Amino acid sequence: MKTASRVLGTAFFLEGFEVQDAPRYGAERRGAPIFAYVRASRQAINERGIIQHPDLVVVADDSLVPIPAAGVLQGLDRHTVMLINSHDAPEVWTQRLNLDGPVLILPASEEVEDRAELPFVGTACAAAAARLLGVIGRDSLQQAIGAELGHLGPKLVAKNEKVALQAYDLLEHHTGTVTEGTEVRATQYQVPAWIETPFETVGRSAPSIHAAATSTQVKTGLWRTMRPIIDYSRCNRCWWVCSTFCPDGAISVSSDGKPLIDYDHCKGCLICVSKCPPHAIEAISEHAAQAAEAERA
Ligand code: SF4
Ligand code: SF4
């Protein structure tokens, strides 16, 4: 996503715009959301920081939309265009999210099962965004990809270009859907209003902070993209290995020495997979694991 913002920013620049692009990282863990912002203007940009009211939001991984911590819907209004990389139809997302603004779907590579694993999804998103903006031509897009990814070698640049141009062409009918905003003056900035909350006793207002052992209520396994599965026929019960290496303490040990993974809190870092001596822990995609569970149910 960081590279996608660089590609889009450079393409804007090549079209004569002033540009800012910047990534914002979340928690350092596999599957944690990452954001990147691009701000472009025909005049010098004096504003800094995150974009509070985006004209376009591109969601590369649709599993992040329902997670409040990912902040996908922050600052949206009825003018914001939302482009989601998803198998679901735009109407489904409009209804699901109760949105007033336009919702579009990135239709590239429909045959890919797990959209988050779509090869070169970053360049596809950057190219789709470029098309929706209507002010970035194919040449600038290609040049930007070459400039940002050139260090990876011609083969990878060519592959990225192919995916990007495919996404760019597929959204042809939506060229210019995102309209240019008007000038934003510093004097128009609205300071966030205070919200007065009534005083309550600590036990009532913040019970989960002041009570002991409540962090278990935060289900950190929600963002997992890969799931470790223990094959107990190969597991030799050297439980001190996997349970010690798990950084989240998500592997407990039963009284007979059997390691048990707590999937509510396993973040899918796969350290246990790499440390298990007899390779008894396999990693499978979370989507596949959930589909298998649903079938069993
Ligand atoms: S490290 Fe591997 S073999 Fe050892 S207890 Fe854990 S899962 Fe079993
Ligand atoms: S159980 Fe394995 S994959 Fe899950 S958090 Fe622990 S080490 Fe990481």
Ligand 2: residue whose CA is nearest its atom 4: 266
Query: What integer pLDDT is reported at residue 206 of this predicted model?
Result: 65
CA distance 254 to 236: 14
Q: What residues contact residue 278 under an 8 Å CB cut-off, 6+ apart? A: 234, 235, 236
DSSP per residue over 79-114, as a string? T-EEEE--SS-HHHHHHHHT-SS-EEE--S-TT-SS
For ligand 2, whether the C-beta of 266 sits within 6 Å is yes
Among the bound ligands, the one closest to the CA of 234: 1
What are the φ/ψ torsions at residue 265 (nearest 5 degrees)? -125, 0
CA distance 287 to 167: 24
For ligand 2, whether the C-beta of 81 sits within 6 Å is no
Burial 112-149 (b: 16+ CB within 10 A, else e): eeebbebebbbbbbbbbbbbbbebbebebbbebbbbbb
CA distance 280 to 241: 12
Q: Tokens standing for 126? A: 């950057």
Give, to the nearest 10 degrees, the angle between helix 138-149 and helix 121-133: 150
pLDDT by residue for the chain (297 residues), tens only, comes to 999 999 999 999 999 999 999 998 876 666 677 889 999 999 999 888 888 889 999 999 888 887 777 788 988 988 999 999 988 899 999 999 888 899 999 875 555 565 555 678 899 999 999 999 999 999 999 999 999 999 999 999 999 999 999 999 999 999 999 988 877 777 887 777 787 877 777 667 665 666 677 777 778 888 788 999 999 999 999 999 999 999 989 999 999 999 999 999 999 999 999 999 999 999 999 988 998 898 988
Ligand 2: residue whose CA is nearest its atom 5: 266
The CA distances from residue 21 to 6, 40, 53, 197, 250, in Å, are 6, 9, 15, 37, 37
Give, to the nearest 10 degrees, the angle between helix 138-149 and helix 2-14: 130
Ligand 1: residue whose CA is nearest its atom 1: 276
User: What 8-state DSSP symbol labels residue 16?
Assistant: T
For ligand 2, whether the C-beta of 133 sits within 6 Å is no
Ligand 1: residue whose CA is nearest its atom 3: 235
Instruction: Count Cβ atoms within 10 A of the Cβ of residue 240 and give its class: 0-12 exposed, 13-18 middle, 19 or more buried.
Output: exposed
Ordered alpha helix ranges (H), the chain: 2-14, 90-97, 121-133, 138-149, 154-170, 202-205, 207-210, 239-245, 271-275, 286-296
- Greatest alpha-carbon pair distance for the chain in Å reads 69
Of ligand 1's listed atoms, the one at least distance from the Cα of 257 is 5
Distance between Cα 228 and ligand 2 center (Å): 7
Query: What integer pLDDT is reported at residue 192 of this predicted model?
Result: 74
CA distance 90 to 96: 10
Of ligand 1's listed atoms, the one at least distance from the Cα of 272 is 1
Give the number of other CB atoms < 10 A from CB of residue 83: 26
- The helix/strand/coil state of 189 is coil
